[in-house]
Amino acid sequence: MIKLVYLIPLLPLIGFVIIGLFGKTFSKGLIGIIGCGSILGAFALSLGIFFELIGQTEKSITIDLFSWITAGKLSIPFSFLIDPLSSLFLLIITGVGFLIHLYSTGYMSHDEGFYRFFAYLNLFIFFMLLLVLGSNYLIMFVGWEGVGLCSYLLIGFWFKNTAYNNAAKKAFIMNRIGDLGFLLGIILIYVTFGSISYHDVFMQAKNFSTGNPVLTAITLLLFVGAMGKSAQLPLYTWLPDAMAGPTPVSALIHAATMVTAGIYMIARSNILYTLAPFSMEVVAVVGVCTALFAATIGLAQNDIKKVLAYSTVSQLGYMFLALGVGAYTGAVFHVMTHAFFKALLFLGAGSVIHAMGGEQDIRSMGGLKKYLPITHLTFLLGTLAIVGFPGFSGFFSKDEILAHAYEHNKVLWFLGILTAAMTTFYMFRLYFLTFKGDFRGTHDQEHHLHESPKSMTIPLIVLAILSVIGGFIGIPKVLGGTHFLDHFLKPVFEDSSFRMVHHLSEGTELMLMAVAISVMGISLYYAFTTYVKNKTLPAPESEELKPIHKLVYKKYWIDEIYSTVITKPLNFISEGLYKVIDNELIDAIVNGIGSLIKWKSSKIRLIQNGNIGFYIFVMVISIVLILFTRLI
C-alpha cells in the first residue's frame, strides 16, 4: 500500500485537470462525482497507509519517485516521506477534505462557477498533500506556494466583487511576506547542512549544540513563514478578510488544513526548534499573544464567519503555544481536533447562511433552532468541542497544551486559560444569538428558512461525531487512557524528547483540568445569563459603543494602523520614485539616447547621395586605407 503513495496526490491532480479542462461541458452531478471521488480514493489510500504504518516497525519510509533537480553538488529527488506525522496529516486532509467536497456539492449547487470551484478545490488538495508528503523542504515549499495560490483563487472566487478581490490580494501579499522568510530559511538550511532533505538535515542537526546561533536563525526564519501561512501576529489580518470566499473554502482552507501548514512545518522541524530554545520562546510568546489577541476581537464581532475566523486565529495561536513549549504531540493533536470541530462550525455557519439567504449578521438571526434542527444540534456539538467541554475532543487536546504550558511557564498557562474563557464566551454568544431566542430577521427571510439538503447535513453529522469522539485517541494517562496518539507520533518527536524531562504529578494535572473546566463553566454561565436570560443583543451599527468595546469591535484598528504605517508610506514613496526617478531620470536617459541617434543620423545619411561615382570613389579609398593599415 505504501508503494502506491504517489496516487494520493495524483488523484486530486487528475480530478483538477479533468474538471478544469472539460468541466464546462459536464453536468453538475458528474463534476461532483469526479471531484469527491478523487478525494475519496485518496482518503481510502491514506487510511490503508495509516493502518499499514501502525502494523509495521519501520516508521519512516522514503519513496523516491524521480530525480527532480540536479545542478552541481545540489541534487534534489522528488520523493515522499511516509511517517506517522505525514500519514496523520494525510488522513485529516483527505478525510475532512472529502466531507467538505461533499458539502460543497450542495452548498454551491446554484453557483454558475460550480466546475471552477471544484477544480480549484481539487488543486488545493493536491498541493496540500504535496506539502505534507514531500521528503525535503523544497517540495514542502512547492506545496506551500501552491496552497497559497489556491487560497487566493478561492477567496476571490466571486471575482466580480471588488472587496473580495482585495481580500484575495491581501491574503496573497501577506503570505508573500512570510514566504520570503521561509525561503531564506531553506537557503540557510542548504548553506549550513549542504542538503535540504529532512533526513540529512535532522541527522546533522543532532551534532549541533543547543542554542547554536545558526539554528536559531534558521528556526526564526522558518517561523516567519509559519506566521504568514498560519495567520499569527503580526501577519494575521488576511485570515479574517479571507472569509470573503465561499464558506466551504473557509472551512477547508482557512480552518482545517492550509493554515495548519505552519504547525506541520514546525512539528516536522522539531529537532531544529528543540536545539534553539530562544526560537521556542518566540514561538510560544507569539502563539499565546495571538491566541489572546484574536480571542478578544472575537468577543465583539457580529458576523458569524468573522467570529469563527478570529476563533481560528486564536486556536492556531494555541497550537503555536504548544509547539513553543515543546508539546509537539499536543500541537498535532489540536490540529486534528480543531480540523474536525472548526470545519464543522464553518460548515454549520454555511448551512445557516444558506438558510438565511446570504445573511451573515448574527443580529438578524436568532431562534434558528426550530428551523434547522440538524444544523443546530451539530453546531452545538462543535461549540462544546471547541470550548473544551469534558469528554469532547477539544477538551483533551486543549488540556494537553495547557498542562505543558503550565509546566513550562505559569504566565503562559494563565494567558492560555484566559483565552479559553474568552473562547467559551464568544462561541456561546455566537450559538445563543444564532439559535436561541426569537427570530430577528425580516419576514421574507423567515419564510425562506429551511434545513439544508442531505449532501450538506451528512458531512455535518459525520464531523459532529468526529468532534465528539476525536479526542479519544489521546486520552491522557491520568484519566486512565493510553494516549494512542503520543505512542503513534513518538518516532517523529523522539529526538526532541530530551528537552521534556520533568513531568507534572497526577494531582497537578487533575487540578489543572478542574481549573479549566470551572473557568469554562463560569464563562458559559456568564454567556448564558447575558444572552439567554437577559436577552441582551449586540448594539446595532448606529449606536455609539463604549471605548473598550469599540476598540475591540473595530479590531484594535490594526488594519487601519497597517494602512497608515506601512501601506500609505509605501505608496507615497512609490509614487515619489515613480514621478522623480522613473519619469524624470530613466525616461530622460532613454529618450535622450533616442533623440541623439536621430539627430546624428540626420547628418550621416547625407552621405548616401545617390551618386555612383562618389560611392566607387569612397570604396576605392577605403580599400586603399584598409590595405595600408594591414600592410603597415
Q: Which residue intervals of 388-505 are DSSP H helices?
A: 393-408, 410-435, 443-448, 454-469, 484-493
Shortest Å distance, C-beta 593 to another protein: 22
Element (H, E) at 312: helix 304-324
Structural contact between residues 39 and 156, judged by C-beta atoms closer than 8 angstroms: no
The secondary structure element, H or E, covering residue 63 is strand 61-71
Contact call for residues 144 and 179 (beta carbons, < 8 A): yes
Shortest Å distance, C-beta 624 to another protein = 9
User: In the complex with another protein, which residue's Cβ is closer, 609 or 629?
Assistant: 609
**Smallest gap, in angstroms, from Cβ of residue 623 to another protein?**
10
We find the least distance from the C-beta atom of residue 594 to another protein, in angstroms, to be 19
> Could you tell me the CA-to-CA distances from 560 to 237, 368, 563, 567 in Å, in that order?
11, 35, 5, 10
CB of 608 to another protein, least distance (A): 5
Q: In the structure grid, which three cell numbers stand for residue 330, read together?
A: 499536543
> For residue 278, what is its C-alpha cell?
530562544
Listed residue (248, 223, 228) closest to 238, CA to CA: 228
Residue nearer to another protein on the CB measure, 207 or 608: 608
Task: Give the shortest CB-628-to-another protein separation in angstroms.
Answer: 15
Taking alpha carbons only, the member of 383, 358, 385 closest to residue 369 is: 383
Q: Which of residues 239-268 bind another protein (CB under 8 A)?
A: none
CB nearer another protein, residue 57 or residue 608:
608
Q: Which one, 522 or 626, has the nearer CB to another protein?
A: 626
| Smallest separation (angstroms) from another protein to the CB of 629 | 19
Toward another protein, which CB reaches closer, 173 or 620?
A: 620
Residue 319 burial class via C-beta count within 10 angstroms: exposed 0-12, middle 13-18, buried 19 and up: buried
Largest CA distance in the chain: 114
* CA torsion angle 116 117 119 121 (round to 10): 160
CB 610 → another protein: shortest distance, Å?
3
**Shorter beta-carbon distance to another protein: residue 3 or 605:** 605
Contacts of 242 (CB under 8 A, 6+ apart): 151, 155, 167, 168, 171, 250, 253, 254, 309
Give whichever of 501 and 606 is closer to another protein, judged by the CB atom.
606
Q: How far is CA 623 from its chain centroid?
A: 74
Q: How far is Cα 311 from Cα 295, in angstroms, rounded to an integer?
A: 6
Opening angle at CA 52, ends 50 and 54, nearest 5: 70
Nearer to another protein, 358 or 610 (CB): 610
Q: How far is the CB of 620 from another protein (least distance, A)?
A: 6
Q: How far is the CB of 583 from another protein (least distance, A)?
A: 34
- Closer residue to another protein in complex, CB, 469/619: 619
The nearest distance, CB 609 to another protein, in angstroms, is 5
Give the nearest distance from C-beta 597 to another protein in angstroms: 15
Nearer to another protein, 191 or 616 (CB): 616
Distances (CA, A) of 564 to 143, 210, 590: 33, 41, 35
> Quick check: 417 and 516 in contact, CB under 8 A?
yes
DSSP state of 478: G
User: Cβ closer to another protein: 206 or 598?
Assistant: 598
Nearer to another protein, 590 or 606 (CB): 606
Instruction: Supply the minimum distance, in Å, between the C-beta of residue 612 and another protein.
Output: 5
Helix (H, G, I), strand (E, B) or coil at 81: strand
The C-alpha cell 479526542 sits at: 471
- Closer residue to another protein in complex, CB, 72/610: 610
Query: What number of residues does the chain have?
Result: 632
How far apart, in whole angstroms, are the C-alpha atoms of residue 330 and residue 326? 9
Residues 189, 214: Cα–Cα separation, whole Å: 9
Site for another protein in 582-621 (CB under 8 A): 605-606, 608-613, 616-617, 620
The site for another protein, by CB under 8 A, has a size of: 11
User: What's the gap between Cα 631 and its chain centre?
Assistant: 76
Q: Is 631 in the site for another protein (CB under 8 A)?
A: no
User: What is the 8-class DSSP label of residue 73?
Assistant: T
End-to-end CA distance of the chain: 83
Binding site for another protein (CB under 8 A): 605-606, 608-613, 616-617, 620
